[in-house]
Chains A and B, each alone.
Chain A
Amino acid sequence: MTDDMDRLLSQLPYTPPPPDLIPRICRLARARQRRNQRLRLTFIGFFALSGVWFIAIPLLQWSYSLSLPASGPQLLLEIGKIALNDMETSLALGLQNLTMYQQEVITQFGVLAFLGLSLLMVSTLLGLNQLLPRSSLTYPSSYLRNAKGDV
């Protein structure tokens, strides 16, 4: 009797899903994916903007403290002068300037600027993670083994 009941239960009639159910689910899944991507990009944008904001103020203050040439042509002139000097002097000067720049950054960039830099770095990494295409062809070997039987 139990076998008979098992047989009857496994043969119970049912209606198949409506034809529009699968396309509807796929459409909604795509819509959710787009919404999540937008949310992620907004989040990354917020990070980047915060980073820029935190960096901008100390950067402006720092640039005022440097005695940079007032205009573009003068700057180009100075660069030209340096380029015309012998290579050794240029290199030494370049390294000296780099060291000075590093010291300036360390002494004049505050905590906020470093926070800004960190935020910019994080947002750049997150953004790259979103934008770079993923290869779906790199399957683990176990899947490739399983696939042989089914494909």
Chain B
Amino acid sequence: MELNEGILIHCARHGDIDAFEQLVARYTPKLYRVVQRMAANTSQAEDITQEAFLRVWQTLSRFQEDADFFPYLAKIATNLLYDEWRRSKRYVFNQLENIDETMSVTTPTPEQVAENAERRKILVQAVCALPPAYRTVIALRYDAEMSYQQIAETLDIPLNTVRTHLHRAKAYLQKFLEERLNDG
């Protein structure tokens, strides 16, 4: 029997480790996907995902139960990544070299695969090369499937800034994609 998220959060807030473990099992794949898009490598993605959950476990008593859980989790993970970037003093480009096409969650038809495989490969490289702020909104929008409002609340930025970042990021990606396809 799968318990309602609200009940799990309520129990976890009161120190129920089993409830927290169910939340970990439920949200790790989604959080890892988002963090992976932003992190420099898989090792960093694992560390950030792990630390985000542990921070949540320690601060869950401050979480408002009527709020959405994933944006709260994503906010902590994003803050941890930003801290990492600040510490390293430079932005490290994503080096996720072993992205396996067959492990993709979306399962397009063979025709779509043939049509889009090359473009998606180029796009992954392009997203990796985006500045952190743009890459973050792309990850939260398309990997976490969050609304503009949720992204704004997660990143503590105005809604219009989210729109601007997404617009500029997509424009950059479009340009990058076209240049690469024309070169090819």
- Interface set of A (CB-CB < 8 Å, partner B): 1-2, 5-6, 8-18, 21-22, 24-26, 28-30, 32-33, 134, 136, 139-140, 142-143, 146-147, 149-151
Judging by beta carbons under 8 Å apart, are B123 and A16 in contact?
Answer: no
Judging by beta carbons under 8 Å apart, are A22 and B25 in contact?
Answer: yes
Residues from chain A with a CB closer than 8 A to the CB of B57 are: 29, 32-33
Residues from chain A with a CB closer than 8 A to the CB of B106 are: 10-11
Interface of A is mostly: helix
Residues from chain B with a CB closer than 8 A to the CB of A33 are: 15, 17, 57
| Top 5 A-B residue pairs of the complex, sorted by shortest distance between their CB atoms | A17-B32, A147-B4, A150-B4, A9-B142, A13-B104
Judging by beta carbons under 8 Å apart, are A16 and B3 in contact?
Answer: no
14 contacts between A and B (CB under 8 A): A9-B141, A11-B120, A12-B127, A12-B143, A15-B98, A15-B100, A25-B28, A134-B14, A136-B19, A143-B4, A146-B4, A147-B3, A150-B3, A151-B4
Interface of B is mostly: helix
- Interface set of B (CB-CB < 8 Å, partner A): 1-7, 10-11, 14-17, 19-21, 24-25, 28-29, 32-33, 36-37, 42, 46, 49-50, 53-54, 57-58, 66, 96, 98-101, 103-106, 108, 116, 119-120, 123-124, 127, 138, 141-143, 145, 170, 173-174
